Amino acid sequence: MRNHILPHLYPNHLHTHPSSAGVIGYEIYKHLPSVDVCIVPCGGGGLISGVSGYLKAVKPSVQMIGAQPQASPQMVESVKAGRIVNLPTLDTLSNGTAGGIEEGSITFPYCQKYVDEWEAVTETEISTAVYDVLDRHHKVIEGAAGCGIATVHRKAKQLTGKTVVVVVCGSNISPAALSKIIADNAPVGYI
């Protein structure tokens, strides 16, 4: 019997990764071909590169906006610099988008080519967004999804009258983080 040690393959190095995420873009366009703006949370770029690649292929006029936390703005700053930059990652509610971009990541060129605008949102904006979705829609979302919702809040005036899609990417949030968000955002006497 032989032992094989397989190399760790980072998802953002796999050539199938952006095309897999492109299925989300397909579903958006299939159900809402009138989409004007699509906002996608971004960490290493896998999700947004696939969604934006598909949407730009079928509807080049769609405005793609990437959302990251200010505490971990690696893709935002890398696109500005025209190369992958390494920055420190601070604590963030958006742990799903935190961290750097690996050298050789195939998602970086997609993000440069297909994403029209980037927003780096604050922890307060993320917290408010997570709370608002819980309060208004009775849904729990994670901090990464909160980045997208926070971007909608921040750009509300510019988005008025447009058909906007936000990819809400998950609900992986700890009870402690969610409790703090509720305590920080609920009206006095609400709890």
C-alpha distances in Å from residue 77, one per residue of 22, 71, 152: 24, 12, 21
> Looking at per-residue confidence, does 16 or 76 come out higher?
76
Confidence of residue 3 (pLDDT cuts 50, 70, 90): very low
- pLDDT at 76 exceeding the cut of 70: yes
**pTM of the full structure:** 0.89
- pLDDT at 55 exceeding the cut of 50: yes
Which two tokens mark 191? 């709890």
Confidence of residue 1 (pLDDT cuts 50, 70, 90): very low
Share of residues in the chain with pLDDT > 70 (%): 88
Confidence of residue 189 (pLDDT cuts 50, 70, 90): low
Q: What is the pLDDT of residue 32?
A: 95
Q: What is the pLDDT of residue 184?
A: 95
Residue positions counted in the chain: 191
Written as one string, the DSSP assignment of 70-87 is TTS-HHHHHHHHTS----
Count of C-beta atoms within a 10 Å radius of residue 170: 14
Domains of the chain: 33-184 (3.40.50.1100)
Indicate the DSSP class of residue 55.
Answer: H
Q: What is the pLDDT of residue 10?
A: 41
